Amino acid sequence: MQTLRSGGKSEGKYNSFNLAAHVNDDINSVHLNRDLLNQFLPSPPHWLNQTHSVDVIKIPSPVFNADASYTTEKNTVCVVQTADCLPLLVTNTEGTIVASIHAGWRGLLSGVIENAIEKMNVSPNELLVWLGPAISRQHFEVGFDVKNSFCEKHSEAEKAFHLISEQKWLADIYALAKIRLNLCGIKQIYGGIVSDNYCTFANEVDYFSYRRDGITGRMASLIWIDS
């Protein structure tokens, strides 16, 4: 499940379906929005304290500091929050294990995807991955340090960057994620359609965007195993 920014109770820069409690939105509005979301879920999600780390937890868990979670229990909801970063939802073909991953460029570079896949301990041939809405290459400007860090780790990352001026590149976060997934042996990858309608930065109607607005809300990407 992927939420959009419309249909909630938040106001102003958080208008209107902000689900994040850490962005200085009115906390009562956030709780109301989460209550609205819970009506469509089998149980309340396990909200993470995301810090652009590579930490992965198996839920249920008393731990909340992580950027990815996975579960083998039915009706247990994995969730990540994003507003430009890339959300990934993962399942195996049998539907017995699922995961949600928050991949900003820092986590992506450091290996949050690889860490989550390793924790799931499933054959790559059995995994399906959905790439949710994120900032598109047309709007994701990075410096030499970011570009060089990715290319030093994997030379094929070069194709994910487009030079626009001295020391400035446009980065394709979808391509960078697919490189990592392919290196993990995963071929069944869906979503990630690069267009203004799917770009968090370009589509102000449907998506929050930190790069566009600075102060803003967060969408949620959720996955669970049905009973």
pLDDT of 156: 96
**Sign of the dihedral defined by the CA atoms of residues 217, 23, 44, 94, in that order:** positive
Q: Rounded to an integer, what distance in angstroms lies between the CA atom of residue 223 and that of residue 211?
A: 26
Q: Sorting pLDDT into bands at 50, 70 and 90, what band is 222? A: very high
**Range 207-216 average pLDDT:** 98
Supply the pLDDT for residue 16: 97
Q: Which two tokens stand for residue 169?
A: 């590149």
Residue 38's Cα: distance from chain center in Å?
Answer: 19
Domains, the chain, ordered by start: 12-137+186-223 (3.60.140.10)
State yes or no: cis peptide before 60, omega within 30 of 0.
yes
pLDDT in tens, 29-63: 999 999 999 999 999 999 999 999 999 999 999 99
Q: What is the mean pLDDT of the chain?
A: 97
Q: Say whether pLDDT at 23 is over 90.
A: yes
Asked whether residue 195 carries a pLDDT value surpassing 80, the answer given is no
